[in-house]
Amino acid sequence: MSEPSAQHPPGRGMPPEGLAPGTPVAGRFTKWGGGRHWEWVGRYLGGDEHGHWWYAPVGTRCARPGADFVESSGWVSLVPHEGAYAVGFYPAHREISIYVDLTTEPRWCRREATEATGATEAGDDAGPEWEVTMVDLDLDVVLTREGHLFVDDEDEFAEHQVQLGYPPEVVALAEHWRDRVHAAVAAGEEPFATVGHAWLRRAEAGEGAKGADGAERPRDAARGTGRGPGDGPRMSPPAGIRARTGGVDGAGRALGWAHV
């Protein structure tokens, strides 16, 4: 969905050169109004024309209020240069191949630490120096390993517009990117066709990746067989048509790009 170019603006708090490969990165979702949601820690892989990528290996702890578990599979997450969403790409043995969480625009942040205590300026001494944050807006675009594509949690989205008081512009933002992402996945556009799972295969192989300066990156490969977590009703809507369904189960939802 990104236009290829030689350079990419830092934007959203990310340094122009990206981060050093292997840098720990915390993913932190919140709910509208500031409530905590899914959080986990991975390691930065690199950047390309689509955005910035990081990897959460097997054994990654995923937590939110009332839920806490250790993941049995690794996955790769993407925060795009442009757009109000985040994406998870999952390995071949999982039910879900791609899970896109619709969110507010993600923001990268360097959590400054004090010399005396090592605590951040925010008063939190837990977690890595770098984090990416966003507000979960309920809607998810899901692609199963069999190629079934649907939009999940439209009922929750409708409820939260009232319960949480989503402003009209936030509703419009989520609906806009829901439609754009769904169309892009249905059309086989990158990074959804091959690029995301190429990053995952590279991370699983332990090859690492270079930074966002255009050095070594995964190459597009023949369409892969990436999978993801989750389970639930399956639908095969025509390209460009959103299907409404109960969607995946709690564990699958929790790990939708990585965990929302």
pLDDT at position 5 over 50: no
Tokens of 95: 């039910």
What is the pLDDT averaged over residues 165-189?
A: 98
Between β-strands 24-30 and 130-144, what pairing exists: parallel, antiparallel or unpaired?
parallel
Alpha-carbon gap, residue 86 to 27, rounded angstroms: 10
Model confidence pLDDT, tens digit, residues 82-116:
999 999 999 999 999 999 999 999 999 998 753 43
- Residue pair 98/90 in contact (Cβ under 8 Å)? The answer is yes
Where would I find the H helices in the chain? 154-163, 168-186, 195-204, 250-254
Model confidence pLDDT, tens digit, residues 37-87:
999 999 999 999 999 999 999 999 999 999 999 999 999 999 999 999 999
Identify the structural domains of the chain with CATH numbers, from first to last: 24-254 (2.40.380.10)
Model confidence pLDDT, tens digit, residues 194-219:
999 999 999 999 854 443 333 444 43
Alpha-carbon gap, residue 54 to 46, rounded angstroms: 7
Residues 6+ positions from 30 with CB-CB distance below 8 Å: 36, 37, 133, 134, 135, 136
- Residue 12 pLDDT grade (very low, low, confident, very high; cuts 50, 70, 90): confident
Mean pLDDT of the chain: 78
